[in-house]
Chains A and B, each alone.
Chain A
Amino acid sequence: MAKVVIKDSPYNVKRAKILDIKSLTEKEKLFKIVFEDRSWLDFEPGQFIMVSLAGIGEIPISVCSSPLNRHYFEICVRAVGKVTNSLHRLNVGDIIGVRGPYGNGFPIKMIEGHDLLIIAGGLGLAPLRSLILYAIDNRRDFGEIHMLLGCKTPKELLFVDEIEEWGRRMDLHFACTVDRADPDWKGNVGLITSLIPGVDIDPLRTYAAVVGPPIMYKFVIKELLAKGLPVDQILLSFERHMKCGMGKCGRCQIQNLYCCKDGPVFTFKEIMDMAEAL
């Protein structure tokens, strides 16, 4: 059996260095990362990368920084499994493996010129943050921007400093809610769906970008349809356990679609008749 090194293998990973680690909540940490060769991770908001720790494994994580930031990129990691828990134990300066980006992100060129309604549930804010930052950086190219955030409790709120800043901005309409409040919470209490009827949007001019836990989609979509949003202007990003990221391993297949290659961002129109999608 001959064994040769194949540098052009699609499974090859690039060495990337952790520049900074910030605890966002008890379970989530934000990693600031740069490729060791200083190359740029050229991605679209909503795309994901495969992050690997040699000897432990590889997982798909969406990039949560602005795609225009050429100095570094960020990922927000919730410690739930083998790789994510191990990532949480890493320190600044540690080296990880990265390949990607993969998939279709949010169709920015289509959204530009329209209003944008962002609906983020829990960790769903991570991929959407990339879109938000892009939209803020290119504010004049977008119409009205509405942001609805929701999470279980105030303690689980991600990117608190940024959220405060977004809340203060004049050019963003911002609302936030928690499922269960604590004594210090002064905002809305209730599911994220409860915020939707109150948003003042022109449904035909608006693209909604929705990311959250699987359970959230059905209810949010129902509200958005009630609001009059066309089915091809509702954008959803799906979570599946991609292993290859290249439409081969079959793990992320939703009927004839591969979440990793055709998604993870889909319009509601693409998947509305598909069992196994939501």
Chain B
Amino acid sequence: MKIEQYRIIEKSKFDDFINSLITFSKVVAPVYKGFKNYIFQEIKSAEQVSLKYIPTIIPPKKYFMPQRETILQFDVNNELKVEPIVEYENLVLFGVHTCDIAGIKCLNMVLSDKPKDTAYLIRKKHITIIGLECNDYCDEYASCSFVGAHIPTTGYDLMFTDLGDYFIVHIHSSKGTDIIEKTGIFKPAKDNNIEELRNLRAQKLKIFNNEVPTERRYLPDLFDRSFNASVWKELEQKCLSCGNCTAVCPTCYCFDIKDDVDLTLKVGERYRIWFSCQLDPFAKVAGGIDFRKERSARQRHRFYRKFRYHIDRYGMVFCTGCGRCSRTCMAKINLKEVLTSLIKESEAKIWRKWL
């Protein structure tokens, strides 16, 4: 920890910081919506911000890859005129948990893979990420320790850590420095502040324990053995195919592309809109054949996208442990439970081989 990269801000000054931030940028932060639900939305004053919050309904991916996004505009009045476009704005995301930062890293990986998604990259460049470290679990659904997303590493411009009376802030980029300078509220960190941060991280190691009875490095093997596991069949009965799990997932990015015209039928746009492997039309082809017809196969596909396929392709686990999918599932399909059942079933298989 390089002390020169750290600043501190007393909690009594926190509101001043947010209110100052608002004067020069659009700021988005977690806001309480009632019934234990939070969402990221634009704030107009510091008191709207929920510093203690469980993951929002939709992760901040909506700012990087909006639910509905115009990709082309066209005009066929005289002859076909097409213009690919991007819509973006300068935005500060405040209070992003480390799980959601991990999610953004996953999206970066996919959308900067060739051919690069130009619009995504432009939008990303205009967003500043201010993280907020979790000192404790948000609730019982989280599995951030399992995927290693519980400690800040990279992927943010500033990282706020709550140390009682004050926040210690890690500056990770020049974008971060700009904010520190512009708001002018922060003080340099002293040795004792760094010491307290070290202590907190040590304390966190005791609080955050692997939530799943296996290790990340065993995931490829586990999933290679589990394609025909009985767990998937159980999900066939349970899953409603509502697509909630994928919509709220910070690393789900599948989409559909559609056209829309205005009432003249001559001018319009092509847009992409979030789509889900859990839904009926997703894997259907023109002749009506559905290559993933069963709900069990669709759920299995979701889990393999998180824990297997993308490890080969991008070298990353595509689960951030945020727990949103389990929290939102009305049928109570729980990610940790599914993984645990897979492990049990797989172990039993290995034992049978030996006996």
Contact = CB atoms under 8 A, between A and B. Distances in A.
Question: Would A and B touch once assembled, by the CB under 8 A criterion?
Answer: yes
Contacts of B83: 5
Contacts of A12: 72, 82, 84
B86 A9 contact: yes
Contact of B284 (A52, A241, A256): A241
Interface string B260-273: 11000110101010
Given A11-B72, A55-B76, A243-B256, A6 B89 contact: no
8 contacts: A4-B122, A9-B84, A11-B257, A58-B259, A96-B80, A214-B287, A241-B286, A256-B308
B268 A4 contact: no
A5 B73 CA distance: 9
A275 B293 CA distance: 12
Interface in B65-89: 71-72, 74, 76, 79-80, 82-89
Of B259, B268, B282, chain A has the most CB atoms within 10 Å of the CB of B259
Contact size range, A: 35 or more
B289 A54 contact: no
Nearest to B260: A55
Given A10-B118, A11-B72, A251-B282, A54 B82 contact: yes
Contacts of B261: 55
Given A95-B79, A256-B313, A2 B270 contact: no
A147 B339 CA distance: 49
Nearest to B282: A251
Interface in B116-144: 116-119, 122
Given A58-B270, A255-B309, A244 B85 contact: no
Of A2, A56, A251, chain B has the most CB atoms within 10 Å of the CB of A251
Nearest to B90: A2
A254 B282 CA distance: 12
A3 B80 contact: no
Nearest to B121: A6
Interface residues of B, number: 57
B268 A214 contact: no
A50 to B, nearest CB: 9
Interface string B295-324: 001000100110011001100000000000
A15 B254 contact: no
A245 to B, nearest CB: 9
A55 B292 CA distance: 29
Contacts of A214: 285, 287, 289
Given A4-B85, A55-B74, A275-B227, A250 B253 contact: yes
Interface in A247-268: 247-251, 253-256
Contacts of A11: 71-72, 84, 257, 270
Contact of B89 (A1, A15, A251): A1
A10 B111 CA distance: 11
A267 to B, nearest CB: 18
- Dominant secondary structure at the B interface: mixed
Interface of B: 71-72, 74, 76, 79-80, 82-89, 110-111, 113, 115-119, 122, 227, 253-261, 265-266, 268, 270, 272, 275, 277, 282-287, 289, 291-292, 297, 301, 304-305, 308-309, 312-313
A256 B312 contact: yes
A138 to B, nearest CB: 30
Contact of B304 (A56, A243, A247, A255): A255
Contacts of A57: 257-259
B299 to A, nearest CB: 13
A213 B79 contact: no
B257 A244 contact: yes
Contacts of A15: 80, 82
A15 to B, nearest CB: 6
Nearest to A250: B254
A6 B312 contact: no
Contacts of B265: 55
A1 B88 contact: yes
A240 to B, nearest CB: 6
B123 to A, nearest CB: 10
Nearest to B289: A214
Contacts of A164: none
Contacts of B313: 256
A135 to B, nearest CB: 28
A54 B286 contact: no
